[in-house]
Structure 1
Amino acid sequence: MRVAIIGVTGLVGGLILRVLEDRKFHIKELLAVSSALSLGKEIFYQDKKHILIDLEQAICLSPEIAFFTAKEEISKKWAPIFATRGSIVIDNSSAFRMISKIKLIVPEINAHILSKKDKIIANPNCSTIQLVIILHTLHKKYIINRVVISTYQSITGTGKKSIDQLIADSQGISTERIYPHPIYQNSLPQCDLLDEKGYTKEELKLIKETIKIMDVDSMKITATSVRIPVIGGHSESVNITFEKYFNLEDLKSLLSKTSGIRVQDDLLENHYPMPITSHDKDEVFVGRLRRDFSYEKAINAWIVADNLRKGAATNAVQIAEYLVENF
């Protein structure tokens, strides 16, 4: 299989290479696509040297699958061109996520809706993926009415330059700012641009993408997203209200038996999900599970995942695996 990775030198693009190798995804030919600044340079994959090429060259070589991990404007311009040439595009940007005819996929939840006609497939936002993995499992048994989310998101969600800013901030060095304030020893309750109602794009992604993936128009969701000085790993404090009464131990057991979820829930032993322990892992971790004492049909949960693995690269590769296995 001929596979292209657009944005291969970025955080997600580079990690897709690792995930493809980890999961032994069969690639006959790799097309490593980069920006003009890196053209002609070399990368190594499976002990082979690959020259970085541009989008025009990649199109001419007609990849069967094209992973897009570049900026939204690149996806908007080039993904449809690849699709019309026969490639299946798996796009990691927000360019196509809320377009009704384009599928927004988390394989454990809704891969079954994919068909041979789908030439552009959207990979959800990283904070959405780890959230819906938990919500989907619980909704099937207890029916969720309302979700209140507060996220504590790694700077890696905004790319390599955010790491440069964190390092520069910590050393008191002037550099290009990705954020409007210092991120070192700080937290910023503003992830992305604001809308007219005061919600940020990151918060709206959590709300709208969750509803689309789970196909639950009636579910009430609200969110606050915060950027914190952590390199890798998004954390979420989530309050979930159910229609049905639940037994807490049964609920924990249900989660622990679900593929892709790891329960870490022993506060007395200081055992709970953390970004540092979720790093470079593909599971979604959940803990601090406790009944909301203000309402017996609600629960509080703490959800953590590596935002670049399951939140981006792994989910994209799992979509590709499903396509290969089923079409």
Structure 2
Amino acid sequence: MKKSETLRIAIVGATGLVGRTFLKVLENSFIPIAKLDLFATSRSAGTSIVFKNKELIVQDIKNINFANYDVALFSAGKDASKEFAPLAVMNGTLVIDNGSYWRMHPQVPLVVPEVNFEDAFNHKGIIANPNCSTIQLVVALQPIENKFKIKKVEVSTYQAISGAGQKGINKLLREIETGVPVDTLSKHPIAFNINFHTIQSKFGFSEEEIKIINETRKILHRKNLKISATCVRIPVLVGHSEAVSVITKNEFSLEEVEEVWRQSPGIIIMDDPQNEEYPTPKMVEGTDSVYIGRIRRNPAEKNGLMFWVVADNVRKGAATNAIQILEHLLKVAPERIFSFQKMFK
């Protein structure tokens, strides 16, 4: 790799759960790093974080000069993304944003490398990382769509509390320790319980359910896809699980379905339920694949398929997916990192 293709990287939101996981994933990535700086709000500035045995001091995001960086990895919330991502782009810095603000913007590609990496070629300086629950779902759906054509999707998610960040983890651990509900995220306890995400109206979908519906349509390029979702948070630290029901246009055998998945990148089949071999949140923690099990027909539907999908929501559902986008660009289209302003004027 050319010396000119080493990267100057800024991590915005470095002290958060996903920000720290960016660093863990980068430690094992082939990406050649010429410069790495960490940024967060003034509240977290001054924090020290170790990366490859070197102590890095977190700086105040308000002092960042994006002209000093080729890439900025964002996971600081939608308000920070709204304010600072355009500034980065103006200075020639590619933004890969884990926040929700840019995901549905028509000029911003929403990318999962195993599914629609080619969309990243059309970026205008910002590439959005999808919601954690969406990522693992579309990795599982895309091979089925390619081979059998999907007519309808119904998904129920069972989401680890780390999807709410460190404050979610703190809430669960504190409640388990004390037995007293902690009034963050929800008025309801999460220990030995479940919570729904924010719901704006009586008969409406939650914010999480809306994200899954809209983002799946965008990523699969199926704007009219029939899809519904029910999402809950559960008292698990890491690992989102999803029960998925699909109706396909074309007929299939379960053996064909399993083989299609086995041949698809990023997927591991774990499906020997009679011997209690199936994916669980505990076993996928710390990994970067999407695990599929409980493959079976839906007896209530013609061409109905049901399956179970589990992934580490902090890694593949957030940090790893963002790093994989960067790795793929660096491999096949480095000019879309280093020279994107020239390409899209």
TM bin (shorter chain): over 0.9
Once the two structures are overlaid, the 10-residue window that deviates more, 65-74 or 195-204, is: 195-204
The reply to whether residue 250 of structure 1 matches residue 256 of structure 2 is yes
2: distance between equivalents of 1:9 and 1:233? 21
1:167 shift after superposition: 1.8
1:56 shift after superposition: 3.3
Aligned residue runs from structure 1 range 172-191, under 5 A: 172-173=179-180, 175-188=182-195, 190-191=196-197
| Gap runs ≥5 in structure 1 | none
The reply to whether residue 30 of structure 1 matches residue 36 of structure 2 is yes
1:59 shift after superposition: 2.1
2: distance between equivalents of 1:251 and 1:40? 51
Once the two structures are overlaid, the 10-residue window that deviates more, 64-73 or 17-26, is: 17-26
1: distance between equivalents of 2:119 and 2:182? 45
Change (3 A) 1:137 1:174: closer
Selected match of 2:300 from 294, 312, 326: 294
Change (3 A) 1:60 1:273: closer
Aligned-residue sequence identity (percent) comes to 40
Deviations 1:188-232 (A, max 9, x none): 2x2134257510110011100000000012320000001100000
The reply to whether residue 15 of structure 1 matches residue 44 of structure 2 is no
TM-score by length of 1: 0.96
Is the 2:243–2:307 Cα contact (8 Å) retained in structure 1? yes
2: distance between equivalents of 1:6 and 1:147? 35
The reply to whether residue 319 of structure 1 matches residue 328 of structure 2 is no
Match of 1:122 in 2: 128
Deviations 1:2-39 (A, max 9, x none): 10101111110000101011123211111111221222
1:174 shift after superposition: 5.9
Q: What secondary structure is seen at the aligned counterpart in 1 of 2:31?
A: coil
Aligned residue runs from structure 1 range 207-222, under 5 A: 207-222=213-228
Counterpart residue identity of residue 29, structure 1: K
Change (3 A) 1:135 1:117: closer
1:104 shift after superposition: 0.4
The reply to whether residue 65 of structure 1 matches residue 71 of structure 2 is yes
Is the 2:107–2:123 Cα contact (8 Å) retained in structure 1? no
Deviations 1:99-153 (A, max 9, x none): 1111000111111122375201100000000000010011000000000110000
Selected match of 2:238 from 229, 232, 236: 232
Is the 1:233–1:279 Cα contact (8 Å) retained in structure 2? yes
| Gap runs ≥5 in structure 2 | 1-6, 335-345
2: distance between equivalents of 1:107 and 1:143? 20
Q: What secondary structure is seen at the aligned counterpart in 2 of 1:56?
A: helix
Change (3 A) 1:51 1:69: same
Is the 1:31–1:58 Cα contact (8 Å) retained in structure 2? no
Is the 2:107–2:124 Cα contact (8 Å) retained in structure 1? no
Between Structure 1 and Structure 2, how many residues are aligned?
A: 326
Counterpart residue identity of residue 227, structure 1: R
2: distance between equivalents of 1:239 and 1:114? 29
Q: What secondary structure is seen at the aligned counterpart in 2 of 1:186?
A: coil
2: distance between equivalents of 1:59 and 1:176? 38
